[in-house]
Amino acid sequence: MTKVSGDVMPEGSNRIIGRDAMRINIAIGYAVANIIKTTLGPKGMDKMLVSELGDIVITNDGATILEEMNVDHPAAKLMVEIAKTQDKEVGDGTTTSVVLAGNLLKKAGDLLDQSIHPTTIIKGYELAAIKAEELLSALGKDVTPEDKEILLKIALISMGSKGIGSDQEKKKISELVVDAISKVAEKKDGSIYVDTDFIKIEKKAGGDVMDTELINGVLIDKEIVNAGMPKSLKDGKVALIDSAFEIEKTETDAKIEITSPDQLEAFLKQEEKMLKDMVAQVKASGATAVFCQKGIDDLAQHHLAKEGILAVRRVKKSDMEKLARATGAKVVSSISELADSDLGSAGRIEEKKVSGEAMVFVRDCSDPKSVTIFVRGGTDHVVSEVERAIRDSLGAVASTVEVGKYVTGGGSIEMALSSAINEYAIEIGGREQLAIQAFAESLESIPRTLAENAGMDSIDALVSLRNKHKDGKGEGFGVNVLKGEISDMTELGVFEPAKVKTQALSSATETTRLILRIDDIIASKGGKGGMPPGGPGGMPMGGEY
């Protein structure tokens, strides 16, 4: 028999065919899931990640761990994609989605060993995923933005797995998160929309986690441009300007010939007059605070200070948008067109020094559609982890409000789904039944991992849970990690967004299907870790493949 692949492929290239390729991909996928499964739940452990440059990240966040890990194998990169998708779409549940995918792959490997074709496994998994989504929709309970108590519990549970301090600190931050979401939530066409980009997170090491605060407005990491300007204003009238407070230079090359000192003086006076006119225009509009996206000339600063107008320059475009939403001001691109109707208002505008750096606080806006959470903590590592916890929590609460449904946590919903899908497998019959049952067993990996991380006997916990969930009863029973027993999660108030579970199931199933369809790994010569070298779009250099 002729070895065709050897003639077609360039010298030194690598190829793995058939079941071997599948087994390698499955082993890698399961290994990635095993790395981060110890971080699941409030009793999960943290990981310390050290980069090549020696930068340290200490975190419990699945997406951050996988991103910082710098994995090399293509199958591992697919697992990282699950966490990234989950993080972008929902902001929480990254570890859950990867653990699920890893266990789906492991169970698929067991079925492959029983000579069941990958297509049959994929078909079974797809049927089970569709059924799981239907069941999630039926089991989910309704929630509205007014149900602050439930949203607070969802925020608290989302933050529970992060090692950010005491229960008191977590409770305070959860309250800030729910408040922030309620401020920026908007009703559009009968549905609720939350853009978490309008919740700015500004962090500064120093103080204590309890010093973290919600600012009804925007915090700008800049200072007031001139020492003569007021450092604090009450009931400020805010002007947002997207043009330079300077004499614009011509775009084409221009030459001005000055032959006498009088001409030079006239030229400088004209420049000063133009700048004075700009300041006069701002003053006439009634503005007492100016936020400029571009530069402010020194002379203009002087005249603004004389008029008692506070000014901040080179404000980021994203911050200008947030200021507009918070104060109600319009961003004006020409100073000459600035009018009273373009101004916004803020209860208090002040410059404060935080950890030795000046920052401008725009506070107490009457109906802010953009707010800021100012994160404090003992060290940079603490502040960064609190920020990650807040981002997860914001994502969880936002998705709950948008979808309007929540489920019980502690692995209870996974057990309820597992129990129902096992019954569904018997209805379907055939070889697909085995894959559907494997899907149901994979769902049990979440409560099992929670039990393991809490130091419980995972087998005892699973047996106890199966008995509780038998015949579709006791759907709220899950793992009480704090007491190390099986409890009713509804009574404990352990709630999670339904969207987190839906997204985790769909991402895990799709990635598993993608990996199971691969029966041939072809790595070009010079490829590192089974990957081709970094030519354009992942193609090898020199056009060889």
Which positions are annotated as active-site residues? 61, 94-95, 392
On whether the CB atoms of residues 53 and 466 are closer than 8 A, the answer is: no
Nearest to 232 by CA among 375, 370, 364: 364
Q: Where are the beta strands (DSSP E) in 417-533?
A: 477-480, 485-488, 495-497, 520-523
Whether 147 and 410 have beta carbons less than 8 Å apart is answered as no
- Residue pair 150/537 in contact by the 8 Å Cβ criterion: no
3-state secondary structure 349-369: EEEEEECCEEEEEEECCCCCC
Q: Are 418 and 436 in contact (CB under 8 A)?
A: no
The single-letter DSSP state of residue 457 is -
Q: How far apart are CA 159 and CA 459, in angstroms?
A: 27
Written in H, E and C, the secondary structure of 158-181 is HHHCCCCCCHHHHHHHHHHHHHHH
Contact between residue 389 and residue 164 where contact means Cβ atoms under 8 Å apart: yes
- How much of the chain is in helix, strand and coil states, percent to nearest 5? 50, 20, 30
- State the Cα–Cα distance between residues 116 and 108, nearest whole angstrom: 9
Structure tokens that stand for 352 in this block:
């404060």
Gap between the Cα atoms of 322 and 500, Å rounded: 27
CB-hemisphere CA count at 13 Å for 123? 12
For the record, the structure tokens of 99 come out as: 């653990």
Asked if residues 484 and 456 have their Cβ atoms less than 8 Å apart, the reply is yes
Q: Copy the structure tokens of residue 241.
A: 């300007």
What is the bridge-based pairing of β-strands 344-354 and 357-363? antiparallel
Strands (E), 92-209: 141-142, 186-188, 191-193, 199-205
For residue 386, CA distances in Å to 151, 211, 486 come to: 19, 12, 29
Cβ neighbours of residue 350 closer than 8 Å, sequence gap 6 or more: 231, 232, 233, 360, 361, 363
